[in-house]
Amino acid sequence: MKKLFATSLLFATIIFACGGESETVVTDEVKETSTLGVIMNEWDVKPTPNYKMGKHIPPGDIDVTLTNAGQLEHNMIVLNQSSYDDFAILDDGSADLSNIEVLLEIQTTQPGQSSSGKLTDLPAGTYAFICNIPGHYASGTVGKFIVR
């Protein structure tokens, strides 16, 4: 009888341990998107956050908004490099970006309007951007932002 009881107890323990319901936990990791706002007017550029004020953007996805606060049209070309210096000027007055990796091009934006784009999985680094409307790059419509 003791043997039968011990065997039954062992069998019940195995069934209980193996036969219980398992619970699967599914989590949706929310990936935060940072923002970069750039206000341009005639040859003046104001990025927010401003790296000159010690501000930076965390790596990852970044929503970029160009606001044209000027009287002329503007666009925004984000480059995969930290410098915006020394581009050749083409006959039409725009910068020659033929050998440069462009990460994002925000369309030509009319005065008083805003346009936007998205950078995806941007790693840490310093990134330059320019307005490439003819004459604007040469006049200094350029800026940088820092991702870290």
**pTM of the model as a whole:** 0.78
Cα-Cα end-to-end distance for the chain: 72
What is the biggest distance separating any 2 CA atoms in the chain, rounded to whole angstroms? 102
Query: Residue 15 has what pLDDT?
Result: 47
Give me the helices (H) in the chain, please: 2-19
Residues 25 and 19: their CA atoms lie apart, in Å, by: 19
Q: What is the model's pLDDT at position 53? A: 87
Ramachandran angles phi, psi of 5, nearest 5°: -65, -45
Q: What is the pLDDT along the chain (148 residues), one digit of tens a residue?
A: 555 444 454 445 444 455 545 455 555 566 789 999 999 998 689 999 988 888 999 999 999 999 999 999 999 999 999 999 989 999 999 999 999 999 999 999 999 999 999 999 999 999 999 999 999 999 999 999 999 9
> Which residues, 6 or more positions from 108, have their beta carbon under 8 angstroms from its beta carbon?
73, 74, 75, 133
pLDDT at residue 44 in the model: 85
**Which domains, and CATH codes, for the chain?**
28-147 (2.60.40.420)
pLDDT for the residue 27: 54
Residue 13 to residue 19: CA distance in whole angstroms: 10
